[in-house]
Structures are given as C-alpha cells and as structure tokens.
Amino acid sequence: MTGLVFAGYVAVFAAAALACLAGLARVGDVEDPDTRRGLAGLLATSGGWAAAQAGFLVVPGADLKVAVYTAGLVFGMATVGAWLYFCSAYTGRSFHYDPTVRRLAVAVFLVVAAVKLTNPVHGYYFGVQQAAAPFPHLAVDHYVLHWVVMGAAYALAAVGYFMLFELLGQTGYDTRPLYALVGVTGLPVALDVVGASTTLIPALSYESVGVAAFAVGVLFVFLDRFQAVQLAGDVGDAVVFLTEDGAVRHTNERARELFPGLADATGAPLADVAPEVAARLGGDRDVLALDRDGERRYFHVAATPFTFGRTRVGRMVVVTDVTSEEDARRQIRRQNERLGQFASVVSHDLRNPLNVAAGRVDLAREQRDDEHLEAAARALARMEQIIEGVLMLAREGEDIGELSRVSLTALAEQAWASVAAEGATHVVDADAAFDADADRVVQLLENLYRNSVEHGGTAVTVRVGALEDGFYVEDDGPGIPADLRDDIFDVGYTTSDGTGLGLSIVETIASAHGWEVAVTDAEHGESGARFEFTGVDLAE
C-alpha cells in the first residue's frame, strides 16, 4: 500500500512537470509578448520545481536528495518572481518594466538563493531525518529562515493575486472559469501547511501542482477567454467578441448595459441583437448616436482581428464613448459655418449699401443736392443694422452658460413688451417651465415677434404655447410658403428690406440650447406661420 502512495506522489509531481513542459510548447499562442514571457517564465520555473520534488522522492542517497531538494527551493523562489512578472504584464501594469523593481527582485532572489544553497554550512534553513509515514522517505524539517522566506514569498504572491482578481472583477466579463483557475494555484498552500504541521503527508512544496493546473486550464481550455479578459481590461469600454461569421461569442458588462439585446445573445448574429453596432462595421460612418438616460451620447465603433496563435478566430469590437470629442467637433463645425456666413454678409450685404452711400456722397458733392445725402444716410443706417445683427448672431452662437428654470409665459410677456407693435395682439395659450438662458430666449422671442409684425402688419395676432417636448410661436399673418421654409434660417435671406439675420439668430439660439426648430402652417386662423421648438426638457 505504501508503495502505491509513494508512486502516486511521484506521479503527481511528474505530471505537473510534464504539464508545465506542454504549456511551454503552447505559450506561443498568447498574443501579448510581455504576458507570454511572464507565463513562459512561470511554467519553466514551476516545471523545474515540480521535477525537483519528484526527483527528491526518487533519487538515491540522502546527500543527493538534499541537493535536489535545495535546487527545488531555488526554483520555487524564482517562481515567485515569474508569477509577479506575469501578473503585472497580464493586468496591464508596468512593474515588470521598472528598472528599480527589476534590480531589487534580482538582488532579493540572489540573497535568498545564497541562503538556501549554503544551508549545509549554517543549517538555519532546513534539516532532514528519516520518516516512515505515509511511506518511507527523507523528511524535511523547516527552520526559522525557511518560515521568514516563505512568509515573504506568500506576501509577494498575494500581491499578484490582488492584481489578477482586480482585473477579473473590473472587466464585467464572464470570468468565473478564470477565477477558478487562479484559485487552484492557491490551494496547494493548504497542503504545505498540513505537511509542515502533521505527518499525514510529506513536507514537500505542492505549489507547482497548482501552477500546472492553471497552465493546462488557461492554455488548453480557456485561452480565448484568458486573452479576451486581458483585452477587455485594457480598453475599459464596451467590448463584443465575434466569431468569424459575425456571431456573438463573448460580451462584457458595459456592452450589455449599452445594448440590452446582447444579454444571453451568445451564438446569435450581431446584426440581430445589436443592429446599430453591426451597421457601423465596415461602413462609411463609424460614429454611433445613442439616447441613454435622457441624454444623447456618441460612440466610436471599431473592430480588430482576434487570433488564436497564428489563426484568426474572430473579431473584437470596441465601442468607445466619444461624446466630448464629437460635441467639440460639432461645435467647431458650427463655428466654421458661422464664419462662412459672416464672410458672406461682410462681402455682399455690407458692400451693397456701402457702394450706395459712396455713390450718393459723390453725387452730392457734384450736384450739391441734400437728397443724395439722405439716401447715403439711409444706406449707412442699414449698414449699422446689419453690423448689429452680425454681432448679435456671433454672440448668440456662443456656448450656453449657466441655465436657470424659466417660465414661458414670463419670458413671452417680457419679449412682447420690448417690441413696438401697437395694434397687434399677443396671446399665451399655455405656460411651460424649462431650463434655459433667459436672456437668449427673450431675444429669440423678440426676433420672432418682429418678424410677425413686419410681415403680418400691426393687426397681427401672435400666439405662444407649450408642446409635449417644447413650445411654439405662431401668427395669423401671410405665412411662409412651403418651398421657402428650408431657406429662411440662412444668414442674409430676406423677402423684404430686412437684414435677413433675425431668423438666423432664432435658429442659432435654439441650436445653442440643443433644440430643434421647424416651420409649419399656423393652427389658429386661415393663414400664418408657426415655429415649433422641440427637444426642450420641460419640467414636470
């Protein structure tokens, strides 16, 4: 019976050594070079450690056994360094790059290795004696230096566990198999404690068995998941792993939050469960707009090949929040459009009255006729109106600052009071409350009121009221033909003697608040224009 037990121990350590050797042949499939080096070092040192434990049991003679056991102790200490290197690389940290950390690690290893190798001289690390249970063998008694070094080694190993568990917990990925594999590496510690404190099992180092199980699980069973977690942990965004034919393979928590259809979607085509993402793959547009929690956000969709060794097995789709960048880009585009509009106004609208004024002044000089000076004065007054309008358009196009809760009725009445419209009627159909820049909304309403009076006459009726997601301003004037409604917000567009800037200012103020403005027919009366502002977050 004892012979079978002995053979079982030898077989376990030999199998662990062979598993590490097989893992070394497979480690080239790991994509990340630093992780690959760390894992290779871990497998090499653990394999040597396991082989030393098996050799300690089978080699003849006490002196040779002690030599082999001591070699195993050196391999064991080297395993700690390889473990930390692997954990740092896999979790995306930079400790394994730090020259100070590397030099300190080498120095500590050399000192500890020297202490272990010189044990026959000082005798403070371990001693040996013959034991009969559970089978005849050379038993090892560990002394004070062993426990000091072992405590430090376990503390360092715990740092590696912390790095791994932190990554596994942060990815939002299904990491249960990897949790189990990492946990397996720690189980042999319990066997070490039992072997050191009882005679039930030999006082050997069993950690190499756990590392071998970890290597087999990672490299032969869960390699794609092992690499997927590392990639998902690196990016911190929504990540979807697809098969080569576009079926969902794995997703992280962030992806499932953004696209609920991905929950329990393993094996389903991406186009069926998240069509908006699939549409951005290989298309001309890679920015996706989503409304989430009452807010519009923008996401960049990118896909990269996902390989298993040299074989491509799918794609990794990363969805990154680029709302800030997209808002800035859109703001720059609006500013560029306004610059172009201003250039048009300056080059065309201002040049015409300027030419008129200059010509009239020349005629007045030649003919000494005050009528020409009056015409020049009117042209200069029009220039002043255009300049004021352009300046106002520039100011209203700036970003909205601090918002306050406003009343539509209060702002409408304030704006009407500043418009010279004797004989015109102002009606507020329904009040609404929302957050806005009060001064700019008053300016918006003033421009609409003036537009109504200019085109509808002093007998016009102007109505203001609330919509489900905004408000409207309408009049019973002549209205705006449908074929002109796309042009009325253009800078300089006018059908009368106005500056053509009033409605441009209205549209600019609305856009600065994030609102949409549309023109339609009035709903009160036989004719008239109606301006509807939507996208307004009305208060409950």
Within this chain, do residues 253 and 143 fall inside the same structural domain, yes or no? no
pLDDT at 244 over 50: yes
pLDDT of residue 227: 62
pLDDT of residue 69: 93
- HSE at residue 181, side-chain half, CA atoms within 13 A, is 21
Contact 535, 514 (CB under 8 A): yes
Q: Which two tokens stand for residue 518?
A: 């549309």
pLDDT of residue 388: 63
Q: How far apart are the first and last CA of the chain?
A: 82
pLDDT band at 30 (very low <50, low <70, confident <90, very high): confident
Beta-sheet strands, E only, within 133-231: 137-142
Within this chain, do residues 38 and 125 fall inside the same structural domain, yes or no? yes
pLDDT of residue 63: 92
CATH, residue 374: 1.10.287
Within this chain, do residues 34 and 151 fall inside the same structural domain, yes or no? yes
pLDDT of residue 237: 78
User: Using alpha carbons only, what angle is made at residue 340 by residues 336 and 341, rounded to the nearest 5 degrees?
Assistant: 115
Could you list the residue range(s) of the whole structural domain that residue 164 is in?
Answer: 2-230
Least confident of 292-296, 374-378, 499-503: 499-503
Within this chain, do residues 390 and 477 fall inside the same structural domain, yes or no? no
**What rounded mean pLDDT belongs to the chain?**
79
Residue 243 pairs in a beta bridge with 314
Quick one: average pLDDT of 97-117? 92
Within this chain, do residues 282 and 405 fall inside the same structural domain, yes or no? no
pLDDT of residue 385: 59
Q: Which two tokens stand for residue 279?
A: 């549409």
Q: Which of 208, 230, 252 is the last residue of a domain?
A: 230
**C-alpha torsion angle, residues 211, 212, 216, 217 (rounded to 10):** -30
- The count of structural domains within the chain is 4
pLDDT (tens digit per residue) in 400-439: 667 889 999 999 998 898 786 778 899 999 999 999 888 8
Contact 14, 41 (CB under 8 A): no
Least confident of 114-128, 176-190, 220-234, 425-439: 220-234
Within this chain, do residues 119 and 184 fall inside the same structural domain, yes or no? yes
Q: Kindly calculate the radius of gyration of the chain based on its CA atoms and give it in whole angstroms.
A: 39
SS3 213: helix
Residue 165 pairs in a beta bridge with none
pLDDT band at 309 (very low <50, low <70, confident <90, very high): very low
**Helix, strand and coil in the chain, % to nearest 5:** 60, 15, 25
Within this chain, do residues 294 and 423 fall inside the same structural domain, yes or no? no
Q: Which two tokens stand for residue 91?
A: 């979790």
Within this chain, do residues 272 and 381 fall inside the same structural domain, yes or no? no
Q: Which of 379, 399, 419 is the last residue of a domain?
A: 399
More confident residue, 16 or 358: 16
pLDDT at 136 over 80: yes
Within this chain, do residues 183 and 162 fall inside the same structural domain, yes or no? yes
CATH, residue 139: 1.20.1070.10
pLDDT (tens digit per residue) in 253-291: 778 888 888 888 888 888 888 888 888 886 667 788 888
Of 131, 130, 136, whose CA–CA distance to 5 is shortest? 136
Within this chain, do residues 298 and 433 fall inside the same structural domain, yes or no? no
Q: Which two tokens stand for residue 10?
A: 């030898």
pLDDT band at 96 (very low <50, low <70, confident <90, very high): confident
Tally of residues, the chain: 540
Contact 186, 161 (CB under 8 A): yes
pLDDT of residue 407: 94
pLDDT at 219 over 80: no
Percent of the chain with pLDDT over 90: 20
Contact 299, 292 (CB under 8 A): no
Contact 357, 383 (CB under 8 A): yes
pLDDT at 502 over 70: no
pLDDT (tens digit per residue) in 192-212: 777 777 777 887 888 888 878
CATH, residue 249: 3.30.450.20
pLDDT at 107 over 80: yes
pLDDT of residue 171: 58
- Could you give the residue ranges of the DSSP H alpha helices within 59-95? 62-90
pTM: 0.52
Determine the Cα–Cα distance for residues 236 and 242; give it in Å rounded to an integer: 18
Of 340, 381, 351, whose CA–CA distance to 491 is shortest? 340
Burial track 123-134 (b if 16+ CB lie within 10 A, e otherwise)? eebbeeeebeeb
Quick one: average pLDDT of 301-309? 70
Q: Which two tokens stand for residue 43?
A: 């497998």
Q: Which two tokens stand for residue 503?
A: 């409605």
Percent of the chain with pLDDT over 70: 76
Cβ neighbours of residue 274 closer than 8 Å, sequence gap 6 or more:
240, 259, 261, 262, 265
pLDDT (tens digit per residue) in 390-411: 555 555 555 566 788 999 999 9
Determine the Cα–Cα distance for residues 413 and 432; give it in Å rounded to an integer: 13
Helix 144-170 to helix 99-117 angle (10° resolution) is 150
Residue 188, preceding peptide bond in cis (omega within 30° of 0): no
pLDDT (tens digit per residue) in 347-377: 545 555 666 666 666 676 667 666 766 766 6
Quick one: average pLDDT of 469-475? 93
Q: Which two tokens stand for residue 55?
A: 């050799």
Determine the Cα–Cα distance for residues 266 and 224; give it in Å rounded to an integer: 15
Contact 201, 191 (CB under 8 A): yes
- Whether the CA torsion 142, 146, 152, 154 is positive or negative: it is negative
Q: Which of 230, 257, 272 is the last residue of a domain?
A: 230
User: Using alpha carbons only, what angle is made at residue 176 by residues 172 and 182, rounded to the nearest 5 degrees?
Assistant: 110
Of 260, 370, 277, 376, whose CA–CA distance to 320 is shortest? 277
pLDDT at 478 over 50: yes
pLDDT at 225 over 90: no
Within this chain, do residues 364 and 415 fall inside the same structural domain, yes or no? no
Within this chain, do residues 77 and 146 fall inside the same structural domain, yes or no? yes
More confident residue, 127 or 157: 127
> 347 phi and psi, to 5 degrees?
-75, -25
pLDDT at 190 over 90: no
pLDDT (tens digit per residue) in 505-539: 788 888 878 889 999 998 887 788 899 999 898 88
